[in-house]
Structure 1
């Protein structure tokens, strides 16, 4: 399966209109055309503010193309678009990414997959050193993710970037209980002596740390949205 992540830079004063479109108009349209929107958020911190994000799940690329061909052929969508834009585009910029599950992300089953997940969510687009994907995956699985969990986060998803800006990336989604827990957890990671020693060893071994710069968005679930732990991916 694949996921599609869309990040929208919203025109000033139009975020409520975006939420209204998703709550009032899109449920029926998405159901009609088979769009499986598994999460949506409003960013509370990060680039391109104000920012809206949503995530969709598909069986494969052919499924994605069929879904959206059907959606865009529907005159009702174009009517809704004109009505809700009200003469001015509510989205000033959109970034689109295709993501595929990384081996470090186990699929959930049953009740665990259906569990609602609230709190503060952290979306990290983590740049990987060129040519170091295999080593980065070992570090991710054996060292980084266990440390993140110890710091207080739930690891919701781990993806490889399949298409989008900056291909050499791992995309991570964490859930923290709240902003205070996120702040304390990040401080713990920054001060982790064993992690610092590991990064120093990577620089000595590879000439660079395996994890390089990252784009981070702090997200809260959009009004009316419920994120399920499985994110549409079920074992």
Structure 2
């Protein structure tokens, strides 16, 4: 699988406008082309961002699906309204599996209740392409002792971006892992100092609340 972790910078106060449009118009239209909208979120403490995930079986499908959606009638009819809510949409990581992948769940309908859960997404900038082995060997047991189980692990996909109309972050080597907590009150951080020797930049940590139609709940 190929995954995109997208984090949009929004115009002040416009995040919920985009989420409403996204959940009403864009989810099924994207999935009809062969991609999967895996998750969509509100970022805790950052009201002017919109993080979301979408997935593709492979890079060939990604190219065809993006061409179909962005050249199709739904995006053409709604792009001006969507773009009017955003300041920047280029903060995108192109990723591939490096451990467990996201569970497959049915999508809730429009108007479904917002779940109580919290997802914490940690991004490590690392040296080398073998960091996943270190994480699974040394960090996962420490996380398990604390009752924190990664629900997905991803790393940089270095394939050429064959849809350059939508940029992705180039020249990075990252490892990204997702933890889920039933409520924000259950969140806990685990000291993983055994990984720090491999970092090339400070870790990035996003605290995400699923939107009503996210399949990650």
Q: Secondary structure at the match of 2:16?
A: helix
1:70 positional shift: 0.9
1:153 positional shift: 2.4
Q: Secondary structure at the match of 1:69?
A: helix
1:218 positional shift: 0.4
1:159 positional shift: 0.8
Cα distance in 2 for partners of 1:58, 1:7 equals 18
| Structure 1 residue 57 corresponds to structure 2 residue 62 | no
Q: Secondary structure at the match of 1:220?
A: strand
| Structure 1 residue 92 corresponds to structure 2 residue 92 | no
| Structure 1 residue 223 corresponds to structure 2 residue 217 | no
Cα distance in 1 for partners of 2:122, 2:171 equals 13
The CA deviation string for residues 27-72 of structure 1, in whole angstroms up to 9 with x for no partner, is 34224323310111111146xx521111111111110010011112
* Residue pairs, 1:178-197, within 5 angstroms: 178-182=183-187, 185-186=188-189, 189-190=190-191, 196=193
The answer for unaligned runs of 5 or more in structure 1 is 200-207, 229-235
| Structure 1 residue 152 corresponds to structure 2 residue 143 | no
Q: What is the aligned counterpart of 1:162 among 141, 157, 160?
A: 157
The answer for unaligned runs of 5 or more in structure 2 is 108-114, 159-168
Query: Where is the helix percentage greater, Structure 1 or Structure 2?
Result: 1
Cα distance in 2 for partners of 1:74, 1:114 equals 26
Q: Give the count of matched residue pairs.
A: 198
Q: Secondary structure at the match of 2:140?
A: helix
Q: Secondary structure at the match of 2:100?
A: coil
Cα distance in 2 for partners of 1:72, 1:157 equals 28
Cα distance in 2 for partners of 1:151, 1:115 equals 30
Cα RMSD, aligned residues only: 2.6
- Structure with max Cα Rg: 1
Using structure 2 for the length normalisation, give the TM-score: 0.79
Contact 2:100 2:150 in 1 (8 A): no
Cα distance in 1 for partners of 2:45, 2:116 equals 17
Contact 2:122 2:204 in 1 (8 A): yes
Residue 97 of structure 2 corresponds to which residue in structure 1? 101
Contact 2:119 2:179 in 1 (8 A): yes
Q: Secondary structure at the match of 1:106?
A: coil
Contact 2:95 2:155 in 1 (8 A): yes
